[in-house]
Amino acid sequence: MARTTVAEAGQHAYRRLREGITSGQFHPNERLVEASVANRLSVGRTAVRAALVRLDQEGLVTLEPNRGARVRLISDREALEIEEVRATLEAMLARRAAERATPADLRELRRMVVEMRQRVEEEDAFGYSALNAPFHQRIWAAADHPTTSRLVGSLKSQSIRLQYQTILRPGRTERSLREHEAIFEALKAHDPDAAEAAMREHLAEVLATLRWAIEGQHGTPRWLPG
């Protein structure tokens, strides 16, 4: 069996740590001790150290001199700013996707919209939320603009960790479904103006829901549907 190189170990540690942070396995402000993380991921401390540097550059962790690393805590103000920037970039991607979406892209987006509708009918809010990221990522891929997709992906990695109970907002899941359906219909029609407008409307609602959650600080932390 081929031996794992230092670079491969570093990439493995980076992917695992990033997934752990964005999925909530590691909590905001939690210390990331190199030795403990290395043992948990079955890699060397050098690989963990390299991964932490990359994650610091992405804004997911904070490296503290002589104190190691912590999962970065996002303030309320920064959370709102992230969503504002994300809305501008994703509107551009939706416009491009309307011009470039292939039949395969549209079939996959249709499949996801149908599954979203099923989750709403089943009153499965968490199952519905899990479909949001793949839906948006398919649009980014269809847009074929890697630089913007990378920037939006970085913002999304931070916003998915926002600690607010947004799914408790009455009727939010049903409204979110209608917004996703409108985006899909615009893409299917290859209408750039409608796709951009639908995406802007959707993310404006996401931002409004985030403000609602910040003002009320409702309940147990959950994910942000959007």
Residue pLDDT, tens place only, 32-70: 988 998 898 888 899 999 999 999 988 889 998 878 899
Q: What is the pLDDT of residues 163-205, one digit of tens each?
A: 445 556 778 889 999 999 999 999 999 999 999 999 999 999 9
Contacts of 4 (CB under 8 A, 6+ apart): 12
Of 3-17, 57-71, 111-125, 201-215, the poorest mean pLDDT is in 3-17
Average pLDDT of the residues of the chain: 86
Q: Tell me the average pLDDT across 107-125.
A: 95
Tokens of 41: 């991921």
Instruction: Name the helix (H) or strand (E) containing 140.
Output: helix 132-143
Identify the pLDDT of residue 174: 92
Residue 172 CA to residue 210 CA, distance in Å, equals: 11
Residue 194 CA to residue 179 CA, distance in Å, equals: 12
Kindly report the number of other CB atoms within 10 A of residue 199's CB atom: 28
pTM over 0.95: no
DSSP letter at 168 equals: G
Which residue ranges form the domains of the chain, and what is each CATH number? 6-71 (1.10.10.10), 76-216 (1.20.120.530)
Sheet holding 61-64, edge to edge: 31-32, 68-71, 61-64
Tokens of 134: 């793949």
Give me the DSSP letters along 41-61. Answer: HTS-HHHHHHHHHHHHHTTSE
Token pair 């499949």: residue: 111
Residue 12, CB-side half-sphere exposure with 13 Å CA sphere? 16
